Amino acid sequence: MDCQEIFETLSEYLDEELAQVKCRELERHLKTCHNCRVVVDTLRQTVSLYHSIPCERLPDEARLRLHKVIKLK
């Protein structure tokens, strides 16, 4: 696997959906390729940062307005 091919499979790798053989090949490549390793680590960090953002809270007034519009109350 070269850098080009690796680049296209990184999300599958992070989501643990990559076939084992390819996975091992990719990990071997990462040991020697600085740039691919950086992209993997920062891509993983990107996904994890977005996972970590708390939910945007629905403001109480907006909740009340919704209930009024759909005639709940």
Smaller CB distance to another protein: residue 19 or 38? 38
Binding site for another protein (CB under 8 A): 3-4, 7-8, 10-12, 34-35, 37-39, 41-47, 49-53, 55-59, 62-63, 65-67, 69-70, 72
End-to-end CA distance of the chain: 61
Smaller CB distance to another protein: residue 21 or 54? 54
Smaller CB distance to another protein: residue 7 or 22? 7
